[in-house]
Structure 1
Protein backbone atom coordinates (compact mmCIF):
# COMPACT_ATOMS: atom_id res chain seq x y z
CA UNK A 1 0.00 0.00 0.00
CA UNK A 2 1.27 3.49 -0.82
CA UNK A 3 2.81 5.01 2.33
CA UNK A 4 1.08 8.36 1.85
CA UNK A 5 -2.33 6.70 2.05
CA UNK A 6 -2.09 5.53 5.65
CA UNK A 7 -4.46 8.37 6.46
CA UNK A 8 -7.52 9.91 4.85
CA UNK A 9 -6.87 12.43 2.06
CA UNK A 10 -9.41 14.83 0.55
CA UNK A 11 -9.45 17.17 -2.43
CA UNK A 12 -12.24 19.47 -3.52
CA UNK A 13 -12.94 21.67 -6.54
CA UNK A 14 -15.77 24.02 -7.46
CA UNK A 15 -17.30 24.32 -10.94
CA UNK A 16 -19.70 26.70 -12.62
CA UNK A 17 -23.00 25.65 -14.18
CA UNK A 18 -21.47 25.05 -17.59
CA UNK A 19 -21.31 21.88 -19.69
CA UNK A 20 -17.51 22.30 -19.94
CA UNK A 21 -17.36 21.72 -16.20
CA UNK A 22 -18.03 18.01 -16.70
CA UNK A 23 -14.74 17.58 -18.57
CA UNK A 24 -12.94 19.71 -15.97
CA UNK A 25 -14.35 17.58 -13.14
CA UNK A 26 -13.24 14.42 -14.94
CA UNK A 27 -9.73 15.86 -15.45
CA UNK A 28 -9.51 16.90 -11.77
CA UNK A 29 -10.55 13.38 -10.77
CA UNK A 30 -8.07 11.71 -13.14
CA UNK A 31 -5.20 13.89 -11.85
CA UNK A 32 -6.15 13.28 -8.21
CA UNK A 33 -6.31 9.51 -8.69
CA UNK A 34 -2.86 9.62 -10.34
CA UNK A 35 -1.46 11.73 -7.48
CA UNK A 36 -2.83 9.22 -4.98
CA UNK A 37 -1.41 6.31 -7.05
CA UNK A 38 -4.83 4.73 -7.43
CA UNK A 39 -4.79 2.15 -10.20
CA UNK A 40 -8.07 0.25 -9.88
CA UNK A 41 -11.53 1.15 -11.16
CA UNK A 42 -10.42 4.42 -12.76
CA UNK A 43 -12.85 4.14 -15.68
CA UNK A 44 -15.76 3.40 -13.32
CA UNK A 45 -14.89 6.39 -11.13
CA UNK A 46 -14.52 8.75 -14.11
CA UNK A 47 -17.82 7.64 -15.64
CA UNK A 48 -19.66 8.13 -12.35
CA UNK A 49 -18.11 11.58 -11.82
CA UNK A 50 -19.21 12.51 -15.35
CA UNK A 51 -22.76 11.32 -14.76
CA UNK A 52 -23.12 13.03 -11.38
CA UNK A 53 -21.60 16.30 -12.64
CA UNK A 54 -23.91 16.25 -15.67
CA UNK A 55 -26.93 15.67 -13.43
CA UNK A 56 -25.88 18.55 -11.17
CA UNK A 57 -25.64 20.89 -14.16
CA UNK A 58 -28.90 19.76 -15.75
CA UNK A 59 -31.04 19.31 -12.63
CA UNK A 60 -29.33 20.53 -9.47
CA UNK A 61 -27.57 23.84 -10.00
CA UNK A 62 -29.64 27.02 -10.24
CA UNK A 63 -28.55 29.56 -12.89
CA UNK A 64 -25.54 31.60 -11.82
CA UNK A 65 -24.35 29.01 -9.29
CA UNK A 66 -22.17 25.93 -9.40
CA UNK A 67 -21.37 22.60 -7.79
CA UNK A 68 -18.55 21.16 -5.71
CA UNK A 69 -16.76 17.89 -6.37
CA UNK A 70 -15.15 16.27 -3.36
CA UNK A 71 -12.86 13.22 -3.53
CA UNK A 72 -11.79 11.37 -0.42
CA UNK A 73 -9.61 8.28 -0.09
CA UNK A 74 -9.79 6.43 3.22
CA UNK A 75 -7.20 4.22 4.88
CA UNK A 76 -9.28 1.15 4.08
CA UNK A 77 -8.96 1.76 0.31
CA UNK A 78 -12.45 3.19 -0.19
CA UNK A 79 -12.67 6.15 -2.55
CA UNK A 80 -15.69 8.40 -2.01
CA UNK A 81 -16.83 10.94 -4.59
CA UNK A 82 -19.41 13.58 -3.77
CA UNK A 83 -21.18 16.13 -5.92
CA UNK A 84 -22.70 18.92 -3.84
CA UNK A 85 -25.18 21.30 -5.42
CA UNK A 86 -27.53 23.95 -4.11
CA UNK A 87 -30.58 23.00 -6.13
CA UNK A 88 -33.93 22.04 -4.76
CA UNK A 89 -34.29 18.86 -6.81
CA UNK A 90 -36.75 16.18 -5.78
CA UNK A 91 -34.68 13.75 -3.69
CA UNK A 92 -37.19 10.95 -4.31
CA UNK A 93 -36.32 11.02 -8.03
CA UNK A 94 -32.61 10.88 -7.25
CA UNK A 95 -33.10 7.92 -4.92
CA UNK A 96 -34.91 5.91 -7.61
CA UNK A 97 -32.50 5.74 -10.54
CA UNK A 98 -34.38 3.27 -12.72
CA UNK A 99 -36.16 5.12 -15.48
CA UNK A 100 -38.02 4.07 -18.60
CA UNK A 101 -35.45 2.00 -20.51
CA UNK A 102 -36.93 3.17 -23.83
CA UNK A 103 -36.28 6.84 -22.99
CA UNK A 104 -33.52 8.79 -24.75
CA UNK A 105 -31.94 9.85 -21.46
CA UNK A 106 -32.22 9.31 -17.72
CA UNK A 107 -29.83 6.40 -17.28
CA UNK A 108 -27.01 8.22 -15.46
CA UNK A 109 -27.96 7.21 -11.94
CA UNK A 110 -28.73 3.70 -13.12
CA UNK A 111 -25.11 3.49 -14.36
CA UNK A 112 -23.84 4.89 -11.07
CA UNK A 113 -25.86 2.33 -9.12
CA UNK A 114 -24.39 -0.50 -11.23
CA UNK A 115 -20.75 0.66 -11.23
CA UNK A 116 -20.25 1.97 -7.68
CA UNK A 117 -19.96 -0.31 -4.67
CA UNK A 118 -22.31 2.03 -2.79
CA UNK A 119 -24.10 5.24 -3.65
CA UNK A 120 -26.69 7.52 -2.17
CA UNK A 121 -28.06 11.00 -1.78
CA UNK A 122 -28.29 13.25 1.22
CA UNK A 123 -29.81 16.60 2.00
CA UNK A 124 -27.81 19.72 2.69
CA UNK A 125 -28.87 23.31 3.20
CA UNK A 126 -29.35 24.35 0.51
CA UNK A 127 -29.43 21.47 -1.93
CA UNK A 128 -28.17 17.90 -1.87
CA UNK A 129 -25.09 15.67 -1.97
CA UNK A 130 -25.01 12.71 -4.35
CA UNK A 131 -22.16 10.35 -3.52
CA UNK A 132 -20.68 7.05 -4.57
CA UNK A 133 -17.95 4.81 -3.20
CA UNK A 134 -15.47 2.42 -4.78
CA UNK A 135 -13.00 -0.07 -3.36
CA UNK A 136 -9.86 0.81 -5.34
CA UNK A 137 -6.33 -0.52 -5.80
CA UNK A 138 -3.04 1.28 -5.29
CA UNK A 139 0.03 1.49 -7.48
Structure 2
Protein backbone atom coordinates (compact mmCIF):
# COMPACT_ATOMS: atom_id res chain seq x y z
CA UNK A 1 0.00 0.00 0.00
CA UNK A 2 1.47 3.41 -0.96
CA UNK A 3 2.21 5.79 1.89
CA UNK A 4 1.80 9.57 2.06
CA UNK A 5 5.34 10.17 0.80
CA UNK A 6 4.62 8.09 -2.33
CA UNK A 7 1.37 10.01 -2.82
CA UNK A 8 3.12 13.38 -2.52
CA UNK A 9 5.96 12.36 -4.86
CA UNK A 10 3.46 11.19 -7.46
CA UNK A 11 1.41 14.36 -7.06
CA UNK A 12 4.56 16.50 -7.48
CA UNK A 13 5.47 14.59 -10.65
CA UNK A 14 1.99 15.19 -12.11
CA UNK A 15 2.01 18.89 -11.17
CA UNK A 16 5.48 19.34 -12.68
CA UNK A 17 4.38 17.62 -15.90
CA UNK A 18 0.85 18.99 -16.29
CA UNK A 19 0.61 22.06 -14.04
CA UNK A 20 -1.98 20.55 -11.69
CA UNK A 21 -3.08 17.23 -10.25
CA UNK A 22 -6.52 15.97 -9.26
CA UNK A 23 -7.00 14.53 -5.79
CA UNK A 24 -10.04 12.50 -4.68
CA UNK A 25 -11.59 12.23 -1.24
CA UNK A 26 -13.84 9.19 -0.95
CA UNK A 27 -15.92 7.73 1.87
CA UNK A 28 -14.19 4.92 3.72
CA UNK A 29 -15.55 1.51 4.65
CA UNK A 30 -15.40 2.63 8.28
CA UNK A 31 -17.37 5.82 7.62
CA UNK A 32 -19.31 5.38 4.34
CA UNK A 33 -22.15 7.85 5.00
CA UNK A 34 -20.50 10.89 6.54
CA UNK A 35 -18.40 12.15 3.63
CA UNK A 36 -19.69 12.98 0.18
CA UNK A 37 -17.12 12.01 -2.42
CA UNK A 38 -15.33 14.99 -3.87
CA UNK A 39 -12.31 15.82 -5.99
CA UNK A 40 -10.19 18.91 -6.36
CA UNK A 41 -7.18 20.27 -8.18
CA UNK A 42 -3.79 20.95 -6.62
CA UNK A 43 -1.34 23.19 -8.45
CA UNK A 44 -3.42 26.06 -9.82
CA UNK A 45 -2.72 28.19 -6.72
CA UNK A 46 0.94 28.42 -7.76
CA UNK A 47 -0.24 30.22 -10.90
CA UNK A 48 -2.57 32.60 -9.02
CA UNK A 49 -5.75 30.69 -9.90
CA UNK A 50 -8.28 29.20 -7.51
CA UNK A 51 -8.21 25.45 -7.09
CA UNK A 52 -11.26 23.75 -8.60
CA UNK A 53 -13.47 21.41 -6.58
CA UNK A 54 -16.51 19.25 -7.35
CA UNK A 55 -18.59 17.03 -5.06
CA UNK A 56 -20.99 14.13 -5.31
CA UNK A 57 -19.96 12.61 -8.63
CA UNK A 58 -18.23 9.32 -9.41
CA UNK A 59 -14.43 9.69 -9.34
CA UNK A 60 -13.88 9.22 -13.09
CA UNK A 61 -16.55 11.80 -13.98
CA UNK A 62 -15.24 14.29 -11.40
CA UNK A 63 -11.66 13.76 -12.58
CA UNK A 64 -12.58 14.35 -16.22
CA UNK A 65 -14.60 17.51 -15.49
CA UNK A 66 -11.84 18.97 -13.30
CA UNK A 67 -9.19 18.24 -15.91
CA UNK A 68 -11.33 19.86 -18.63
CA UNK A 69 -11.71 23.08 -16.63
CA UNK A 70 -8.16 23.07 -15.25
CA UNK A 71 -6.85 22.80 -18.81
CA UNK A 72 -8.81 25.95 -19.72
CA UNK A 73 -7.45 27.75 -16.67
CA UNK A 74 -3.84 26.58 -16.99
CA UNK A 75 -3.39 26.44 -20.76
CA UNK A 76 -5.60 29.37 -21.77
CA UNK A 77 -5.50 31.52 -18.59
CA UNK A 78 -9.30 31.47 -18.51
CA UNK A 79 -10.88 32.95 -15.40
CA UNK A 80 -14.26 31.92 -14.05
CA UNK A 81 -16.47 34.16 -11.92
CA UNK A 82 -18.89 33.48 -9.07
CA UNK A 83 -22.26 32.52 -10.53
CA UNK A 84 -20.92 31.93 -14.03
CA UNK A 85 -22.79 29.28 -16.02
CA UNK A 86 -20.74 26.90 -18.09
CA UNK A 87 -22.73 25.23 -20.83
CA UNK A 88 -20.11 23.09 -22.56
CA UNK A 89 -18.85 21.04 -19.60
CA UNK A 90 -21.60 18.49 -18.89
CA UNK A 91 -23.46 17.17 -21.94
CA UNK A 92 -26.99 18.55 -21.96
CA UNK A 93 -26.65 20.54 -18.72
CA UNK A 94 -25.20 23.78 -17.44
CA UNK A 95 -22.83 23.83 -14.49
CA UNK A 96 -22.34 26.87 -12.25
CA UNK A 97 -19.14 28.16 -10.65
CA UNK A 98 -19.28 29.16 -6.98
CA UNK A 99 -16.41 30.97 -5.21
CA UNK A 100 -15.67 30.10 -1.60
CA UNK A 101 -13.29 28.85 1.03
CA UNK A 102 -12.61 25.32 2.26
CA UNK A 103 -15.28 23.92 4.57
CA UNK A 104 -15.37 20.93 6.92
CA UNK A 105 -17.28 18.98 4.23
CA UNK A 106 -15.07 20.09 1.33
CA UNK A 107 -11.55 20.32 2.67
CA UNK A 108 -8.81 20.18 0.00
CA UNK A 109 -6.16 18.84 2.37
CA UNK A 110 -3.39 18.26 -0.17
CA UNK A 111 -3.76 21.82 -1.52
CA UNK A 112 -3.78 23.26 2.00
CA UNK A 113 -0.70 21.23 2.92
CA UNK A 114 1.12 22.52 -0.17
CA UNK A 115 0.10 26.22 -0.06
CA UNK A 116 -1.37 26.91 3.38
CA UNK A 117 -5.03 27.43 4.21
CA UNK A 118 -4.89 31.22 3.85
CA UNK A 119 -3.62 31.04 0.26
CA UNK A 120 -6.24 28.59 -0.98
CA UNK A 121 -9.13 30.00 -2.96
CA UNK A 122 -11.71 27.58 -4.33
CA UNK A 123 -14.13 27.55 -7.21
CA UNK A 124 -16.72 24.81 -6.96
CA UNK A 125 -18.33 23.31 -10.04
CA UNK A 126 -21.97 22.83 -9.09
CA UNK A 127 -24.02 20.41 -11.19
CA UNK A 128 -27.81 20.23 -11.56
CA UNK A 129 -30.34 17.45 -11.14
CA UNK A 130 -31.94 15.78 -14.18
CA UNK A 131 -34.43 18.67 -14.52
CA UNK A 132 -31.64 21.27 -14.59
CA UNK A 133 -32.31 22.51 -11.03
CA UNK A 134 -29.42 23.44 -8.75
CA UNK A 135 -29.11 22.92 -4.97
CA UNK A 136 -30.40 26.47 -4.34
CA UNK A 137 -33.48 25.91 -6.56
CA UNK A 138 -36.82 24.78 -5.21
CA UNK A 139 -37.46 21.12 -5.99
CA UNK A 140 -33.79 20.13 -6.36
CA UNK A 141 -33.96 16.36 -6.63
CA UNK A 142 -30.94 15.30 -4.53
CA UNK A 143 -30.25 15.23 -0.81
CA UNK A 144 -28.09 18.28 0.10
CA UNK A 145 -25.43 15.95 1.54
CA UNK A 146 -24.78 14.58 -1.95
CA UNK A 147 -23.30 17.89 -3.11
CA UNK A 148 -22.16 20.00 -0.15
CA UNK A 149 -21.48 23.63 -1.02
CA UNK A 150 -18.53 25.91 -0.21
CA UNK A 151 -20.85 28.94 -0.51
CA UNK A 152 -24.27 29.88 -1.81
CA UNK A 153 -25.24 31.65 -4.98
What TM-score, normalized to structure 1?
0.30
> Is the helix fraction higher in 1 or 2?
1
- More strand as a share of residues: 1
| Structure with more relative contact order (C-alpha pairs < 8 Å, separation 6 or more) | 1
